[in-house]
Amino acid sequence: MLIDPVNDENPICSAKGCRTAAVWVLAWNNPKLHTPERRKTWLACDEHREHLSQFLGVRGFLKELVTLAEWHDRPGSDG
């Protein structure tokens, strides 16, 4: 059975082709395109967390890495 596209109830990893449940949130921004306070997010499973972190990190884009649960527990979160 295939998982439907990403939704709030079943967030999946952002790695290409991965359909595993997300565990991590990688908050990032591209300083050439985004204001400093803007945060875009990628989701990651345990297997792809390091790869996605390195991809964003070498470009200087990665701003924060937290668990999905921590991200949803923050004040102002929609989760």
Q: Please list, in sequence order, all residues whose beta carbon lies within 8 angstroms of the beta carbon of residue 13, skipping any fewer than 6 positions away.
A: 19, 20, 21, 22, 43, 44, 45, 47, 48
Q: What pLDDT is stored for residue 2 in this prediction?
A: 35
Q: What pLDDT is stored for residue 72 in this prediction?
A: 87
Q: What pLDDT is stored for residue 73 in this prediction?
A: 87
Q: Which residues of the chain have pLDDT under 50?
A: 1-6, 79
Taking all residues of the chain, what is their mean pLDDT, rounded to a whole number? 87
Distance CA 31, CA 5 (A): 28
Tokens at 71, concatenated? 């991200």
**DSSP 8-state secondary structure symbol assigned to residue 12:** B
Distance CA 42, CA 8 (A): 13
